[in-house]
Amino acid sequence: MKIVITGGAGFVGSSLCISLKQKYPQYKIIAFDNLKRRGSELSLVDFKQNNIEFIHGDIRNSEDLELLQEFDVMIEASAEPSVMAGLDGNPSYVINNNLYGSINCFNTCIKNKANLIFLSTSRVYPINLIENANYIEEDTRFWFSEEQKINGISNKGISENLSLKGSRSFYGTTKLSAELFIQEYCQFYNLKAAITRFGVIAGPRQMGKTDQGIATLWMAKHFWNQSLKYIGYGGKGKQVRDLLHIDDLINLIDIQIHDIEKFNGKIFNAGGGMQCSASLYEMTAYCQKITGNTITIDSDVNNRPADLRIYVTNNAKIESEINWKPTKNIETIFEDIYLWIKENENQLSRILK
């Protein structure tokens, strides 16, 4: 089998490339990336060591994608991942990359008669619907209450039944638009595709920043004894996300590669779920325990644009239909990130510090 992974030098992409090559050494794995994100260049050494082909290209340029020939599966993991993208008054980059670039990828799949695995996002769900959900405030976190008036929201999280009517950020809108185009390609061009709306993904190899990669950012600041800030919702760090370990994502993609018929024509949520969720305040406690460091954490009561008080994935559909569920817990996620930073401290200090 020949597998192309766009965004192949990024966090998810490089992890997929290396893991799949190690599990299936007979497969040809191609990483396609423009190396825009800082730190992505570090993956090139790993690719060479693992006999993974690298193609320097940009999905926004259809000519670059013509370098890809006769492959079986494309894993489209090349998105601009920040929910803050475009909120500065210029959405051109996120639209060009996440929508037009993705369409170029779909066309390349059709040309090569290849299957598509598309990594979408939980951010396709409207902000106001989630923010208007009933919630309770506990000592260390916010949480969805048992009684909800909005279909698709429960104390188990957000399901695929939540309405898509409303605004969601330019990032979320480009990903939702790409989902809609995929459905057209499946209907009229017979493309076989798997669409998964992932929650927050975390683990080693992620170059965490304030707007994307919160688990790595939190651990890195504790590792190097630098300050952090709780932003919004009272400035107490009670906002909650579920975290999906990169290994659990890879296990799901492995299933999709080899049995895409289970996913074709369907859309699934996939995340850490309520069992693997944490508030920023709780993430601080994990990082303190693992590193032994206590850092200064400031407070800002003002909410950031497009932020959410709570997002937790309801995995009920994918668990029942695919028999997939996450296996790694929160503490394992932070321990794995810590070990990765510790083992690569010299390289990572100029990026994460």
DSSP letter at 97 equals I
The pTM of the full predicted model, rounded to 2 decimals, is 0.97
Cα of 295 vs its chain's centroid, Å = 27
pLDDT attached to residue 258: 98
Q: pLDDT of 165-202, one tens digit each? A: 999 999 999 999 999 999 999 999 999 999 999 999 99
- Please tell me whether residue 322 adopts helix, strand or coil conformation: helix
Bridge partners, residue 4, by sequence: 30, 74
pLDDT attached to residue 73: 98
Among 66-80, 186-200, 204-218, 264-278, the minimum mean pLDDT is found in 204-218
Average pLDDT rounded to a whole number, residues 244-251 = 98
**CB within 8 Å of 118: residues ≥ 6 apart:** 76, 102, 178, 179, 182, 193, 194, 195, 196
pLDDT attached to residue 211: 74
pLDDT attached to residue 81: 87
**CB within 8 Å of 199: residues ≥ 6 apart:** 122, 241, 242, 243, 244, 269, 270, 271, 272, 311, 312, 313
Q: pLDDT of 299-345, one tens digit each? A: 999 999 999 999 999 999 999 999 999 999 999 999 999 999 999 99
User: Does residue 152 surpass a pLDDT of 80?
Assistant: yes
User: Does residue 240 surpass a pLDDT of 90?
Assistant: yes
Instruction: State which H helix or E strand residue 102 sits in.
Output: helix 102-112
Q: pLDDT of 81-111, one tens digit each? A: 889 999 999 999 999 999 999 999 999 999 9
pLDDT attached to residue 61: 97
CA atoms within 13 A on the CB side of 140: 11
Nearest residue to 32 via CA among 1, 56, 3, 60: 56
pLDDT attached to residue 115: 98
